[in-house]
Amino acid sequence: MTSPTASLGHCHDLLERISRYIDGELPAADRQEIERHLRDCPECEEVLHSLEHTVDLCREAGRPGLPPELRARAAARVHQLLARAAKRKKR
Amino acid sequence: MTDSADPNHVHREPREAEAQDYAALVRAVQAGDERAMEELLMRAQEVAYRFSLLVCGRPEEADDAMQEALLKTYRYAGRIREPEAFRAWLYRTVRNACLIGRRKRVDEPAHLLSLHESNGEDGFGRGIEVADPGRDPEAQAMNVSLRSRLFGALRQLPRPYRAVVFLREVEGLSTREVGKVLGISEPNVKTRLHRARVMLRELLERS
């Protein structure tokens, strides 16, 4: 982060805000300031891209599903619980 | 068949809609819909499993957390006044169940999964079952080893950071909901999330 137009302090400041930039939470003026900086600072641009990639990876990975035997046990517990409740209601 | 009842379903849609989905299920439960209760109870157990696996790092205790989530959801779903608040309540309940499990083990040495140990394994020595549907080509294209690396890296983060990434990025809770689940302010959630993303990126680059 040592490009001629970008001071180290500025890079640090930008990186502190980069997640909020990715999440679209910054005001327009801050966004524009960051975008100007990114045009001049390939290192920060690289950090941005790799963070965006990490975030995308998390969001697109899918969530672990229950292994088959745990799924069967979970479903059995639900049916048992609801059957007991239905019995109680009948009494 | 509902989403969570289908082991091959991948949740890739924006998850903001999921909070409303939970709220609709809770309303249906309160109106006496037994199928909705069944769906909610399965989801509660799935959340508990994922939390145990990816945040607590103790998949062998997932079954206890699942039972706790099941019973609390069964007792609470019919009584909640704000169905929109149910999702955050569920994750908080699951988190508390995991914390209680941790306190019980206070005398045990901490067991942190190594990257090798956690890569693609659920702790029982089996590969993590990641929902990967044949019907979603985009999800199919997702590199399986990359996904294993991601979950492995996630479990290497310090727990407070791991929890934030799990809740926000994997489960899609809002910043506000994450704050409620973890009992921290929204600015604190954002700060932790940023640091966690940076750490996760470094772990992924190293793995």
pLDDT band at A87, cuts 50/70/90?
Answer: confident
* Chain B residues touching A84 at Cβ < 8 A: none
Is A2 inside any structural domain?
Answer: no
Is A74 inside any structural domain?
Answer: no
Question: pLDDT value at position B122?
Answer: 40
Is A37 inside any structural domain?
Answer: yes
- Only one residue has tokens 């229950």, namely A66
Rounded distance between C-alpha atoms, residue B12 and residue A89, angstroms: 39
> Which residues between 75 and 134 in chain B have a beta carbon less than 8 angstroms from any beta carbon of chain A?
122, 124, 126, 128-132
Given a cut of 70, whether residue A4 has pLDDT beyond it is: no
pLDDT band at B118, cuts 50/70/90?
Answer: very low
pLDDT band at B99, cuts 50/70/90?
Answer: confident
- Residue-number span of the structural domain to which A57 is assigned: 8-64
What three-state secondary structure class fits A64?
strand
Is A3 inside any structural domain?
Answer: no
Chain B, nearest residue to A18 by Cα: B194
Q: What is the average per-residue pLDDT within B20-36?
A: 93
- Only one residue has tokens 């890569």, namely B119
- Of these ranges, B5-9, B92-96, B100-104, B115-119, the one predicted with the greatest mean pLDDT is B92-96
Question: pLDDT value at position B147?
Answer: 79
Chain B, nearest residue to A73 by Cα: B63
Structure tokens at B5: 């009842």
Question: pLDDT value at position B140?
Answer: 56
Question: pLDDT value at position B106?
Answer: 52
Domain tally for chain A? 1
Structure tokens at A1: 């982060």
Given a cut of 90, whether residue B24 has pLDDT beyond it is: yes
Task: Give the A:B interface size as CB pairs under 8 Å.
Answer: 119
Given a cut of 50, whether residue B112 has pLDDT beyond it is: no
CA-based max dimension of chain A:
81
Structure tokens at A11: 């890079």
Given a cut of 90, whether residue B101 has pLDDT beyond it is: no
Calculated CA dihedral for residues B191, B65, B38, B165, nearest 10 degrees: 20
Sort B10 into a burial class: Cβ within 10 Å, 0-12 / 13-18 / 19+. buried
Question: pLDDT value at position B102?
Answer: 64
Rounded distance between C-alpha atoms, residue B10 and residue B87, angstroms: 19
Query: What fold is seen in the domain B16-127+142-206?
Result: Arc Repressor Mutant, subunit A (1.10.10)
ipTM attached to this prediction: 0.81
Rounded distance between C-alpha atoms, residue B191 and residue B137, angstroms: 35
Is A58 inside any structural domain?
Answer: yes
Contacts of B180-187 with C-beta under 8 Å, sequence gap 24+, read B180/B85, B180/B88, B180/B92, B181/B88, B181/B91, B181/B92, B181/B95, B182/B95
Chain segment B39-94, per-residue pLDDT in tens: 999 999 999 999 998 898 777 778 889 999 999 999 999 999 999 999 999 999 99
For chain B, the average pLDDT equals 78
Rounded distance between C-alpha atoms, residue B96 and residue A44, angstroms: 39
Is A86 inside any structural domain?
Answer: no
Of B62, B170, B205, the CB nearest to A63: B170
Question: pLDDT value at position B40?
Answer: 96
Chain segment A31-57, per-residue pLDDT in tens: 999 999 999 999 999 999 999 999 998
